[in-house]
Amino acid sequence: MSTLTIQLPESLKKSIETLAAREGYTVDQFVTSAAGEKLAVSLTRDFLRREAEAGRRGDFEHYLAAVPDVAPSENDRLR
């Protein structure tokens, strides 16, 4: 583990402390989890962008054509 010192506006710090306490976390756990979630979102976005850039429309249409053109089953319908 390593230590990171950050400066936060007092209102944000108080909100984090309140939410962390309400959820049963320490502030360290809360901030670590929030940073991990943000990192995961950024990495996933970057991965999906790279995949989209590498994709080919013809491949997409080929696989889409293999999907049967049938109505969704009763338990798979929007309500």
Q: Where are the domains of the chain?
A: 19-66
Contacts of 47-52 with CB under 8 Å at 24 or more apart are none
What is the pLDDT averaged over residues 44-62? 93
pTM: 0.65
pLDDT tens digits for range 18-47: 999 999 999 999 999 999 999 999 999 999
Q: What pLDDT score was predicted for residue 78?
A: 87
Q: What pLDDT score was predicted for residue 37?
A: 98
More confident residue, 1 or 33: 33
**CB burial string 40-61: b at 16+ within 10 A, e below:** eeeeeeeeeeeeeeeeeeeeee
- Which residues, 6 or more positions from 20, have their beta carbon under 8 angstroms from its beta carbon? 26, 27, 29, 30
pLDDT band at 79 (very low <50, low <70, confident <90, very high): confident
Residue type, 39: L
